[in-house]
Structure 1
Amino acid sequence: MKFVLWITGLFALAVLVGLASTLNTGYAILFLPPYRLEVSFNLLIVAVILLIVVAHLVLRLIGLATGLPEEVRRFQRQKKLKAARHALREAGIAFFEGRFQRAEREAVKALADESAPENKALALLMAARSAAAMQDLDKRDGYLSQLDSLPERLQLARHMLDAELKLEAKDTLGALSAIERARAISPNLTNALKLELKVRLLQKQPEAVLALTERLLKAEALEPDRARRYRLAAYTQQLDGFSQGQEIRDWLRRVPEVERNNPTLVSRIVERLIVLGEADYAATLIAGALGDDDQATPELARELGQLAEHLTADKRLELLKDAESWLKLRPRDHLLLLALGRLALAQQLWGKAQSYLEASASIEPTLCAHAELSRLFTAIDKPELAERHYQQSLELALQQGC
């Protein structure tokens, strides 16, 4: 359709020009001494138009000729830039493929002719990350130092990568310094807070770990399960710093109830109390956990049994009184029955000890249950039964060893 319109327009223009030329009968006189030239006015108009067109073409040719060297240089720059962008793409693909040597090589190629600061920064970041993956720390630091010359708006990525690399290398002070520089640029950057959380955990600063965990939870940047693990690690570090049972008692009052009832934390507290010689208080904590179906674990029952001989007589009797409520919740818990049997045995309640230990062995025959029964029957002067359980415990020990 456009072609038809163009043709129609050209024919219309030709007709108008033809009509105009028939109406204009004038002429022009040109004096070129000693000559005098008469020319049709229509022909003069056409000649002038042609002269303008020719002059324009000549000037264009002169302009192209004089600008040719610059055009060649521009073409070469575009060619190199195209190659640099291709190398940058190849570096990115190789980096995510895990081919770090190739990624570094392609990133360095991209740096040579790249002009955009953003692309330079990207190439340097990939080169530094790849060098770190290959344990070439000198190259890593060299690439990171080149990022200092780039605009300020690109420095956040540089500091974040520096922090990650220092953290991987267990350089906590260097990582913390990089994190502080990143937070100076973006104070509320959650990824910087996450990195700081890991650094503080490595530095064994539990108070800082707990504060950062709460801050990230409020920002919805940390999953509750992961936050609970960080809290557990922080509380464990705090526990390791206590040297007296009273310190642990005071500390437990400050721990939130939800965390205080964590079975894993209870187990860690019990272990620490045992080391400090606070067996009765450890047994009290275990008893509280065993009375709650959500907190009770087989490990706690096993630890209670191991504490039996280290407890005072009053504490053993107190625990045995609570035994009925525990057994209502878990009547077939063989480890709990074994623990109660050991408590009764240490208290020389032979009948209770025998019933608990035999119940434990009937539910789950274990080496410990038969060994404790052997001790019991030896104590009450029944050598035949003692020998039988000794042999059974020996058989179980051999089976487990094989």
Structure 2
Amino acid sequence: MRILLWLLTLSAMAVGLALFARYNTGYALLFFPPWRVELSLNAFVLLFSLLVLGGYAAVKLVDWLISMPRNVRRYHSARRTREARRFRREAITALIEGRYHKSVRAICDARAAEDESDMQLIDTLIAARAAHFGRDFEARDKFVEDARKVSGGNSLALDMLEAEMLYEQYRNREALLALQRVYARSPKLTAALKLELKIRQQEVHPARVIELTDMLEKSEALDPSHAARIRNQARLAQLKMGPMDARELERWWNGLKKEERLLPKLAAATAREFIRAGMDERAEAVLVDALEAHWDVAPLELYGELSRLGVKGDAVKRLARAEDWLRHHPNDHQLLMALGRLCRAAALWGKARNYLEASVAVAATPVAHAELGQLLEQLDEGETANEHYRASLGLALDLLEKRAQ
């Protein structure tokens, strides 16, 4: 519809101009002393139009000639930019595909074709990463130095990339130095905090691990359950770092969060340390609190061993508490075995035998058979005890064989 309107408009203008030229009787008089020129108005309009168009064309020609060098430079620059983009696309594709040497070659071609320094820096970083993946560490280090020259040593991306590559090469000390440069520019960069967390876990630096975990969890960079597992491992590592006296151990334990003190494995490990430090009541209380919060084998197993480990306390009350737990966990073979151990420590031979036999009936384990064998041997039932010893040995060998597979 629009084209039709344009055609009608042009046709009307053509008809109008034709009628104007046909019936126009005017003339133009040009006076250039001592000459006079008389022209029809139609001829004057035509000549004037040609003069204007010719002048415009001459001006455009001069402008085109003057701007030709600039246009040529712009054309070559645009062509180099297109080539750089093509090579860069090939390099990134090859990097994702795992064809690292091809990626390095393509990105080097992109660097040679690129004019912008920012893009040259990006190309150099890609080349360093590709060379690192290809285990060409000499080329990688050269690219890193080139990137440092291009950026003037002021590039967060370069420092972060260098830290990651050094960590992947197990050069943790140098990776930490690179991370210090990252923190100088971005103190709370999540990627840097996560990388340092991995390094500190490898180096067994639990205090820093806990600090980093708290920071990452606060910024929602770590899932709370994952953060809790990391903190648990770090706390266990703190216990293994060196023996603490009773006062230090109490201060350390009270400094933990409430939910941390209820973690089963941590509670069991801490209870062992309290026992070592002679704080028997504290050890038992830690185990009881952990078991009542989270039922788990680690504190339960140690609870059953309290009397055997020489922990002072009311054996009857200890046994009554475990029997109360049995009402809530009637088919727990670990609890049944713990009750058998507690009864045996209290010289309740009949009850101990019943509990241990029930534990074996629920789940036959090497430890349960061994415990029952020891009790039966103590009761002068050597033949039956030997049967349980053999069963224990057979189960243990089966487990070792499965693990070896």
TM-score if structure 2 supplies the norm length? 0.81
Aligned pair in 2 of structure 1 residues 16, 160: CA closer, same or farther (>3 Å)?
A: farther
2:254 maps to: 253
2:74 maps to: 74
Structure 2: distance between partners of 1:287 and 1:61? 95
Question: Is 1:158 aligned to residue 158 of structure 2?
Answer: yes
* SS of alignment partner, residue 135 of structure 1: coil
Note the C-alpha offset of 1:28.
5.5
Aligned pair in 2 of structure 1 residues 270, 93: CA closer, same or farther (>3 Å)?
A: farther
Structure 1: distance between partners of 2:158 and 2:73? 33
Aligned pair in 2 of structure 1 residues 27, 282: CA closer, same or farther (>3 Å)?
A: closer
Structure 1: distance between partners of 2:129 and 2:244? 46
**AA partner of residue 133 (structure 1):** F
Note if contact 1:279-1:310 (Cα within 8 Å) is conserved in structure 2: no
1:284 maps to: 284
Structure 1: distance between partners of 2:347 and 2:291? 24
2:324 maps to: 325
Aligned pair in 2 of structure 1 residues 350, 269: CA closer, same or farther (>3 Å)?
A: same
Deviates more, 1:221-230 or 1:182-191: 182-191
Structure 2: distance between partners of 1:150 and 1:399? 62
Structure 2: distance between partners of 1:222 and 1:251? 25
Note the C-alpha offset of 1:55.
5.0
2:266 maps to: 265
Provide, for residues 74-114 of structure 1, a one-character-per-residue CA deviation record: whole Å limited to 9, x for no partner. Answer: 33332221111112222233333333333322222211121
1:337 maps to: 336
Structure 1: distance between partners of 2:219 and 2:393? 57
* SS of alignment partner, residue 82 of structure 2: helix
How many residues were matched structurally?
A: 395
* SS of alignment partner, residue 345 of structure 1: helix
2:221 maps to: 221
Structure 2: distance between partners of 1:128 and 1:200? 25
2:175 maps to: 175
1:108 maps to: 108
Structure 1: distance between partners of 2:310 and 2:388? 26
Question: Is 1:4 aligned to residue 5 of structure 2?
Answer: no
Structure 2: distance between partners of 1:44 and 1:366? 118
**AA partner of residue 389 (structure 1):** H
Output the aligned Cα RMSD. Answer: 3.6
Note the C-alpha offset of 1:192.
3.1
Provide, for residues 249-271 of structure 1, a one-character-per-residue CA deviation record: whole Å limited to 9, x for no partner. Answer: 33111111101101132244356
2:124 maps to: 124
Provide, for residues 229-285 of structure 1, a one-character-per-residue CA deviation record: whole Å limited to 9, x for no partner. Answer: 2312321232122313523333111111101101132244356668x5869579626
Structure 1: distance between partners of 2:170 and 2:396? 43
Note the C-alpha offset of 1:66.
6.3
Structure 2 gap ranges (5+): none
Structure 1: distance between partners of 2:92 and 2:390? 67
Question: Is 1:300 aligned to residue 299 of structure 2?
Answer: yes
2:26 maps to: 23
Aligned pair in 2 of structure 1 residues 363, 290: CA closer, same or farther (>3 Å)?
A: farther
Deviates more, 1:200-209 or 1:236-245: 200-209
* SS of alignment partner, residue 40 of structure 1: strand
Aligned pair in 2 of structure 1 residues 200, 102: CA closer, same or farther (>3 Å)?
A: same
Aligned pair in 2 of structure 1 residues 312, 38: CA closer, same or farther (>3 Å)?
A: closer
**AA partner of residue 26 (structure 2):** L
Structure 1: distance between partners of 2:76 and 2:320? 92
Aligned pair in 2 of structure 1 residues 40, 99: CA closer, same or farther (>3 Å)?
A: same
Structure 1 gap ranges (5+): none
* SS of alignment partner, residue 170 of structure 2: coil
Provide, for residues 298-346 of structure 1, a one-character-per-residue CA deviation record: whole Å limited to 9, x for no partner. Answer: 2333344566643247575663343222222222211222223234334
Aligned pair in 2 of structure 1 residues 28, 272: CA closer, same or farther (>3 Å)?
A: same
Aligned pair in 2 of structure 1 residues 383, 194: CA closer, same or farther (>3 Å)?
A: closer
* SS of alignment partner, residue 120 of structure 2: helix
Structure 2: distance between partners of 1:363 and 1:13? 111
Structure 1: distance between partners of 2:53 and 2:400? 105
* SS of alignment partner, residue 142 of structure 1: helix
1:40 maps to: 39
Aligned pair in 2 of structure 1 residues 220, 385: CA closer, same or farther (>3 Å)?
A: closer
Provide, for residues 144-170 of structure 1, a one-character-per-residue CA deviation record: whole Å limited to 9, x for no partner. Answer: 333335568982322222232233233
Note the C-alpha offset of 1:30.
8.2
Aligned pair in 2 of structure 1 residues 119, 2: CA closer, same or farther (>3 Å)?
A: farther
Aligned pair in 2 of structure 1 residues 176, 313: CA closer, same or farther (>3 Å)?
A: closer
Note the C-alpha offset of 1:2.
1.6
Aligned pair in 2 of structure 1 residues 252, 220: CA closer, same or farther (>3 Å)?
A: same
Provide, for residues 181-211 of structure 1, a one-character-per-residue CA deviation record: whole Å limited to 9, x for no partner. Answer: 3333334433333334334434443333333
Note if contact 1:213-1:231 (Cα within 8 Å) is conserved in structure 2: yes
Deviates more, 1:225-234 or 1:40-49: 40-49
Identical-residue share of aligned pairs (%):
32
Note if contact 2:343-2:351 (Cα within 8 Å) is conserved in structure 1: yes
